Structure 1
Amino acid sequence: MTAVCLIDTSIFVEILNVPMKAQRHLQTLQQLEQRIHGRESLFLPMATILETGNHIGQNGDGVMRRNCAENFVQQVKAALAGRSPFKAISFLQEDEMHAWLLEFPEHAMRGSGLGDLSIIHDWQRLCSLNPARRVYIWSADNHLNAFDQAPRL
């Protein structure tokens, strides 16, 4: 069975070539192509979408920002409509937010933000739904790369 991949902000900014953030755009596109060719299930967590949007709005000159923002909107709309290699997930419910807020102070003490915590919860949910598949977070951040479930038979 193919793997399940959650795409972190550090990767999505590379895919979109976000000004002042992307450093390995072409290399990341090659890795993305390999994942698509390998028929992996690619998920865009809501935190990735929101954080990437913030990075776009805060970087580059007006023309670069506009072009990147329009590309971002196209990519996210395509994911929402099922016309993309990515599937958007994690439209947060109020009860989930309350639970995450209880966890957040301890998580913050490890130097990680609420977005990362939500991606970890997405990973846990996908692990429970896909025990026979590899489920991992594709990230440039080592602490998120550690979330990699091997398939259980």
Structure 2
Amino acid sequence: MGRRVEFVDTSVLCNLLDVPGKNQDRKNVLRALEEKRACDLILPVTAVIETGNHIAQLSDGRLRRQYADKLSKLLELVIIGEAPWVLHTVEWGESFLRSLLSGAGTGTPFSDHVMAKLGLGDLCILAERELYRSRVTGVEVGIWTLDGQLSSHS
């Protein structure tokens, strides 16, 4: 197989940003980031949204502002191409929703995933990964996550 591509999950992004209460594996994630220099990292829209939600739920307003600014700066780096990852264009349309409902390439439908406690955000990341796989050939595509449920589909 060719180069390795990994989608960055919310659990990893929160640790990289050091979001309070979501940063328990920060040292390991920073070490892993160094090891993943040879990978192409993709920042899924779901990870951005979920991380923003975690930041919005911080009880201390000063921390909310601090981490919102941190996320904003990181996204600015993505925009200008200086972040360690890139965005993946996703069209929220019929084909994406069909992929989501059919289990995003896992062979298990959405409702069964929910019963197994795999959340919709995780399923969206799986759907983004499947969309990427359908567009790009000759690459090994995975998900960089700390979430046990999601990693079982990585």
> SS state of the match for residue 143, structure 2?
strand
* Equivalent residue runs for 1:52-67 within 5 Å: 52-67=51-66
| CA positional deviation for 1:113 | 1.5
Partner deviation per Cα, 1:61-95 (whole Å, 9 max, x = no partner) = 22222111101011122213322111122434232
> SS state of the match for residue 3, structure 2?
coil
Structure-1-length-normalised TM-score: 0.83
Structure-2-length-normalised TM-score: 0.83
Partner deviation per Cα, 1:91-133 (whole Å, 9 max, x = no partner) = 3423245425644333212211211111111222233344433
Report the counterpart of residue 141 of structure 1 in structure 2.
Answer: 147
Q: Work out whether 1:128 is the aligned partner of 2:129.
A: no
Report the counterpart of residue 116 of structure 1 in structure 2.
Answer: 122
Alpha-carbon contact 1:136-1:145 (below 8 Å) kept: no
Q: Which runs of 5+ in 2 are unaligned?
A: 103-109
Matched residue pairs, number? Answer: 146
* Equivalent residue runs for 1:5-20 within 5 Å: 5-20=6-21
Report the counterpart of residue 106 of structure 2 in structure 1.
Answer: none
Q: Which runs of 5+ in 1 are unaligned?
A: 149-153
> SS state of the match for residue 23, structure 2?
coil
Quote the sequence identity (%): 32
> SS state of the match for residue 24, structure 2?
coil
CA separation of 1:84 and 1:49: change in aligned 2, threshold 3 A? same
CA separation of 1:98 and 1:131: change in aligned 2, threshold 3 A? closer
> What do you get for the CA RMSD once the two structures are aligned?
2.0
Q: Distance in 1 between matches of 2:20 and 2:9?
A: 17
Alpha-carbon contact 1:8-1:137 (below 8 Å) kept: yes
Alpha-carbon contact 1:123-1:147 (below 8 Å) kept: no
Report the counterpart of residue 22 of structure 2 in structure 1.
Answer: 21
Alpha-carbon contact 1:100-1:118 (below 8 Å) kept: no
Q: Distance in 2 between matches of 1:92 and 1:138?
A: 22
Q: Displaced runs of 4+ in structure 1, greater than 4 A? A: none
